[in-house]
Amino acid sequence: PARHESLRVKFSDQGKPFFSSPIPAPLFEQHSSSEPVLKKAIQDGVEILLNKMDPISGRTFGVVLLKNNDEEFLIIGGHHLVLDAISLDILCHELLWFCKYEKWPEIEDKISPFLWASRLLANKELWEVENDKWHSLCSRPSFLKAIRKGEDRVSLRISLSEKVVGANELADTRTGILASFSQALFNAGEKESILLTLEGHGRENIFPDIDISQGVGWFTITYPMPLIPHPIADQAVYEIEQWFKDLRYGGLGYSVLSMLKPDQYNHTAQIGFNYLGTIKEEEDFIPLPHLATPFEISGLLHPDFRSDTPLELVVYKTGSNELILNAWFSPYRVDKGWVELLLQSWKDVLIDKAGFPKPWNEVASICDCSPGDIKYIFDPLPQHEAMIYQYQLEGEDSFTYSQQITFSLKGTLDTAKFMEAWHLVAERHDGLKGIFPVLDTGEIKWVILKKGRSVQEYIDLSYMPRPSQEEELKKRRPRRTFSLEQGPLLYMSLFKLSEDDFEMTWDFHHILMDGWCIGILIRELFSFYRALVEGRRVEPDPAPSLQSYITWHRQQDEERAKRFWKEYLSGLEIKTPVLSRGEILSADASHDNAKHRIMETVEFYLEEEIASRLSSIASHSHVTISMLLQCAWAIVIASLQGSIPKRVLFGLVTSGRPSEVKDIESMVGLFIQTVPVKIELILEEAFSEFIKREQENSLKRIEFEFLPLSEIQRCSPIEGPLFDHALVFENYPIHGIEQEGAPTIKGVSGIEQHPYDMGVSVIYDKSFTFRFSFYPDVVNKEYISSLFSSMEAILRKISEQEDTLCSELINICKDSLKVAFSGARYPWVDAFNKTVRSYPRDISIDRLFIKNSKPYKDLPALEEEDGRCWTYQKLDEVSSCIASQLGILEAGEPVAIAMKRGPEAIAAILGILRAGGCYMPLDLNNPLMRLRSMLEKANCRKVIYDSSSSELLRLDSINFYPFHELSAYGKSEPINVERKGLDPAYIMFTSGTTGLPKGVIVPHRAIARLVFNNGFLKISSDDTILQAAPLAFDASTFEIWAALLNGAKLSIIPDEILLDPAGFKAFIRDHSISVMWLTASLCNVLIEEDASMFDPIRVLLTGGEPLSVPHIKRLMQACPDLTVINGYGPTENTVFTTTHHIRAEDLEGDSVPIGKPIGNTRVYIFKQDGGLASIGEWGEIYAA
């Protein structure tokens, strides 16, 4: 014993320890017995040991060698003042070492228990950080229904035991054993949180120069731990894991603090829990732990000793993998029958015989699943309850809280892997797998399924033209309603629009998640997709568990929060509504059919320069930009009231994500809270001081924002709803969304539905977007516009002079409101559409060609790959010959062109027009039956063909004209046919909504509008225009007639060179191309290969689909002198409706503008109700 510090200690009569000198001799006894009952023999040996122990004389440790019949037993014992169970084990192994090697093992110099203990108490700062945690836990009320008042001392206690053979994986860890005990408590009738006292070894290596892991002494510690009874053990696992993960130094801090502050740490636990781990048999001895416990061997504790906990549990595993559950208690304090039930239930859980509790079977029946499909059952959070109430009020066919968000994706996609990645995301998060059944009792549960019920679908619409796609998207993206009881509550639809153009739509009930989650899910989706495409296994870490948030929420002090809100709202005398003024209400305002109302959305944008200045003001004032805007909004509200109020009240949606909850920023679920914000107005206070004062006030509120709005409203001196609208700042996590190898998000749009008559969302990304959502039967749009006008006016003033008085800002608001309701409603529409220009609107294209080509008769009109050219005179002669051979055609009579691109095809087109008909180019890549359908629909009976279209000759009822025959007659007398501007010039087919070809008739006037005085591009005889588009694609209209009606040269590039970047680059250079039109997708491919190839040209027009900002930026950097024009327009509008000359500043955002109407074109944005949209409002484009 003298080898160890702890065993050289004596204790005074007052219990003070000191090192003894001299060191007492070791206590060693031998005892022989022939007792037939082993327990009795052990008891006798223990009594010999205990009778000779005396802490005052320093005899605190000893051994008895017991020989009972033919077996030998070594009884090692020590006083708990100086030894713990681990120390006894260390001493046992030292003794065995000595017997084997006849010497003692060396003790490291670093082992010094007393130095370690003194350091613990001296370093108070180590433990103070835990003070609030332990103090809060000790103050928390907890109780066990099975415990009653009664006598409890050692002499009255009894023990019960259960041996568990064949236990499941829960028995493998302390966490699993505690989780199984949680379910056993639940099954035994306990539902409220209890407090355990856990034992720990206490041997924490805190100080580098001290190692007490092999030290001998009393290091055992105890600390409290909350345990919530759960119907299923799995539900408790996370809570317990998290508890131990957050436990510093194995709970040592509690023991130290309880010594330093004993009055604050006097907790009352109901159950003591001691897990000894696995006690294995060794080569030299077999441990007998069941004969070393107070409830088996009397005398180890004084008969009158009273335990701190009414029920003591000791659990350990034997070397044969049996799990032993021991309970020690007084039957006068804890009901014996209940303890027997508890142990049996605990055993059943550990051997999978517990089954599912009755509520689980009922819930499973309502949810149309088996109990085994359920992962967790929780009570709904307060955030859920408000939405559930609205759902029950309106029924499952209500749109309230239904959400839809659509992402426009750019980039090629492996759609199968993309859908697989989404499935992995949806299954990873428990928050996306919830449903909310109502039990027969009316109680509502939040059920998390093991496998979610989300629905995903992939629809390929790439075969349709864009207008038809839009119609189909409307059909396939309906406003959805949801069943909270059974789901599904989440839908994902992926639409393919072209090879690198997709739209992804999520429909979900808001009860699943808030807006913050969108960035989390998108980031994971792209990350998983990349991994799948690269052939890597997707094995993400488990998603942050909602249970940590649930546990945090349960621990909040609601009574304290209610006291705060009562004080916060005190002094309120009136509400400050925004939507109660008579002039803003629609005539048919009614809430009788609230659940079927559709909310509308209007967006307004604040200038980037103003937004930047406001951000700077917020920064140097040490306030958030959110607070600055809240104060500005309060001024707008104040200006709307009859008299200026002292206080303004409105709703604010907060993130509801407390920083105390680990990984809260990565959790997917519904955390947002709506709280009232009270703003105190001082009219003669500068705005710069106003925001600082309110920032300080808001910080006091954050701690209590967890309280449900329904409870907050009860704290108000004013009855009824406190506000009629809510403000939300959308600063969601978007970092990491753009990932190499994943698609690019080119645009996001959404539809939301909430119960407030109006919502205001503020999105900050360089500039401010103000999104107003509202019910049109309650408020009209002019009023919404006026609200933004007022907000814009005062923000502009604040950005220029931040110390403007609040009174002056209110006057600015009032003046803005007056202006908003007077004057022209949409003056900017007329200015936008001032595009009337002079052009030959009533002359046919063939006449314009004949007239305009005369000055250029000897100049090249058409150029082939090898450089051979047709002059304007040759084109005139060949086209005239073709017209003569065709004869005079009826106005609008179609003649199909079934020829490959080249000078001959263009001559045939011009010949048809000169004969008075209209041309109809055919795409020879289409199946024969589709071509037949086109000809039949157009009532076309004449086809000019060349050798590339011989298969068409199989069609009957068609007059076929070989090109070489029509053009072989030399000069002929021109036909004199006059057609008007509105007579048909050509027919082109696009795919309709059904996928069948739909013909579009384009008049002569439309072509003239496109190429003369168009307002976006001037073509001269010095230009060479590339002809690259298929003749059946309307881009060819621009290429052909922009050249031939302006005296320019049209250079025809073969398809094989067009698709070869190196050949394309050489063609541009060799043929001196100055103007070209390319689809955005082809343009992107060529830019990626070599953006500098476009440097020789003057103007590049591109479009047909949204442009890629990164590609255009790369192009303009490589070719700084190049003019790039974004062209937008459907076939029906003859190539271009709007155009935009792209500037460097256009590439700072996520998309490129489509610009303004071209010459002699008008564009309007109409809303669904047929009204003209204001600036910032969504709608559909109408063009004329």
Other C-beta atoms closer than 10 Å to the C-beta of 536 total 10
Which contacts qualify for 357-364: CB closer than 8 Å, 24 or more apart? 357/186, 357/187, 357/231, 357/232, 359/231, 359/439, 359/445, 360/231, 360/232, 362/439, 362/440, 363/437, 363/439, 363/445, 363/447
User: What is the rounded average pLDDT of the residues 208-226?
Assistant: 88
What value does the mean pLDDT take over residues 341-366? Answer: 83
Binned at pLDDT 50, 70 and 90, residue 736 comes out as: low
Lowest mean pLDDT, pick from 217-231, 383-397, 733-747: 733-747
pLDDT at 994: 57
pLDDT tens by residue, 506-525: 999 999 999 899 999 999 99
Are 520 and 668 contacting, i.e. CB atoms less than 8 angstroms apart?
Answer: yes
Give the pLDDT band of residue 590 (cuts 50, 70, 90).
very low
Residue 498: band (very low, low, confident or very high) from pLDDT cuts 50, 70, 90: very high
Helices in 395-545 by DSSP H: which ranges?
415-428, 466-476, 516-533
pLDDT number for residue 824: 36
Q: How confident is the model at residue 575 (pLDDT cuts 50, 70, 90)?
A: confident
CA distance to 32, 40, 43, 92, 1126, per residue, from 70 (Å): 10, 16, 18, 22, 101
Q: What is the mean pLDDT of residues 699-712?
A: 92
Peptide bond into 743 cis (omega under 30): no
- Is a pLDDT exceeding 50 seen at residue 587? no
Which range (247-251, 260-264, 913-917, 975-979) has the least confidence?
A: 260-264
pLDDT at 589 over 60: no
Tokens of 655: 């993130």
Question: Quick one: CATH architecture of 382-543?
Answer: 2-Layer Sandwich (3.30)
The pLDDT, as a whole number, for residue 584 is 38
Higher pLDDT, 580 or 920: 920
pLDDT surpasses 50 at 70:
yes
Position 1169 scores a pLDDT of: 60
Is the pLDDT confidence value at 592 over 70? no
Residue 863 above 90 pLDDT? yes
Q: Are residues 1126 and 1105 in contact, defined by beta-carbon separation less than 8 angstroms? A: no
The CATH number of domain 840-1016 is 3.40.50.980: yes
Residue 389 has pLDDT above 90, yes or no: no
Peptide bond into 208 cis (omega under 30): no
Which pLDDT tens digit goes with each residue over 269-328?
889 999 988 887 776 777 777 777 776 777 788 888 888 889 999 998 887 888 999 999
CA distances from 1024 to 196, 843, 866, 1042 (A): 87, 25, 15, 10
Tokens 């814009």 — which residue? 792
Predicted confidence band of residue 733 (pLDDT cuts 50, 70, 90)? low
pLDDT band at residue 734, thresholds of 50, 70 and 90? low
Tell me how far CA of residue 250 lies from CA of 133, 171, 224, 245, 1047, in angstroms.
14, 21, 12, 9, 88
Q: Is the pLDDT of residue 822 over 50?
A: no
Under 8 Å CB-to-CB from 309, ≥6 apart: which residues? 197, 269, 270, 271, 272
1029-1059: buried (b, 16+ CB within 10 Å) or exposed (e) per residue? bbbbbbbbbbbbbbbbbbbbbbbbbbeebbe
pLDDT for 825 equals 42
Topology match between the domains 113-206+219-350 and 840-1016: no
CATH class name, domain 113-206+219-350? alpha beta
CB of 95 closer than 8 Å to CB of 64? no
432-449 per-position pLDDT tens digit: 999 999 888 788 999 999
H or E element that contains 945? strand 942-945
Over 70: is that where the pLDDT of 892 sits? Answer: yes
- Band the pLDDT of 970: cuts 50, 70, 90: low
- Rounded to the nearest 10 degrees, what angle do helices 625-640 and 781-800 cross at? 120
What does the pLDDT read at residue 821?
43
Nearest to 639 by CA among 428, 391, 816, 468: 816
Residue 222 scores a pLDDT above 80: yes
d(CA 892, CA 883): 15
DSSP string over 472-505: HHHHHSPPP---TTT---EEEEEEEEETTEEEEE
pLDDT at 1170: 60
Beta-sheet pairing, 1024-1027 with 1049-1052: parallel
Percent of the chain beyond pLDDT 70?
94
- What is the pLDDT averaged over residues 1123-1133? 94
Q: Going along 1013-1086, which residue ranges are E strands?
A: 1024-1027, 1049-1052, 1075-1079
| pLDDT digits 0-9 by tens, 1052-1091 | 999 999 989 999 999 999 999 999 999 999 999 999 999 9
Percentage of the residues of the chain whose pLDDT score is greater than 90? 47
Pairing relationship of beta strands 17-19 and 27-33 according to DSSP bridges = unpaired
Taking the CA atoms of 224, 225, 226 and 230 in sequence, report the sign of the dihedral they define: negative
Q: Can you tell me which residue has the tokens 């510093």?
A: 248
- Tens-place pLDDT, residues 260-281: 888 777 778 889 999 988 887 7
Tokens standing for residue 444: 């509502």
Q: Which residue has the tokens 């349709």?
A: 464
- Chain-centroid distance of CA 889 in Å reads 62
Alpha-carbon distance of 35 to 1085, in angstroms, equals 95
The bridge status of strand 1075-1079 relative to strand 1049-1052 is unpaired
Q: What tens digit of pLDDT does each residue of 76-114 get? A: 888 888 888 888 888 888 888 888 899 988 887 778 888
pLDDT value of residue 529: 95
Alpha-carbon Rg for the chain in angstroms: 42
The residue ranking higher by pLDDT, 1059 or 1173, is 1059
Tokens in use for 939?
Answer: 């009532």
Residue 977 CA to residue 994 CA, distance in Å, equals 38
- Please provide the size of the chain in residues: 1184
Does position 622 have pLDDT exceeding 90, yes or no? yes
Query: CB-side exposure of 184: number of CA atoms within 13 Å?
Result: 24
Is pLDDT above 70 for 585?
A: no
The pLDDT of residue 209 is 86
Kindly state which CATH superfamily the domain 606-732+766-822 is placed in: Nonribosomal peptide synthetase, condensation domain (3.30.559.30)
Distances (CA, A) of 1146 to 601, 832, 892, 1114: 25, 19, 42, 13
Q: Is the pLDDT of residue 674 over 80?
A: yes
Decide if 1035 contacts 1129 (C-beta within 8 A): no
Question: Which of 11-25, 1094-1108, 1167-1181: highest mean pLDDT?
Answer: 1094-1108
Query: Mean pLDDT across the chain, nearest whole number?
Result: 87
The yes-or-no verdict on residue 594 having pLDDT over 60 is no
Q: What is the 3-state secondary structure (H, E, C) of 674-703?
A: EEEEEEECCCCCEHHHHHHHHHHHHHHHHH
pLDDT at 9 over 80: yes
* pLDDT the model gives residue 1134: 94
CA dihedral 730, 735, 738, 739 (to 10 degrees): -150
Q: What is the pLDDT of residues 138-197, one digit of tens each?
A: 877 777 888 888 888 888 888 899 999 888 888 888 999 999 999 999 888 888 888 999
pLDDT of residue 992: 53
HEC string of 573-627 equals CCCCCCCCCHHHCCCCCCCCCHHHCCCEEEEEEECHHHHHHHHHHHHHCCCCHHH
| Domain layout of the chain by residue ranges | 5-101, 113-206+219-350, 382-543, 606-732+766-822, 840-1016
CA dihedral 869, 870, 871, 876 (to 10 degrees): -170
The CATH topology of domain 5-101 is: Chloramphenicol Acetyltransferase (3.30.559)
From CA 167, how far away is CA 1057, in angstroms rounded?
A: 73
pLDDT at site 1007: 97
Band (pLDDT 50/70/90 cuts) for residue 1106 is: very high
1069 token code pair: 């250079």
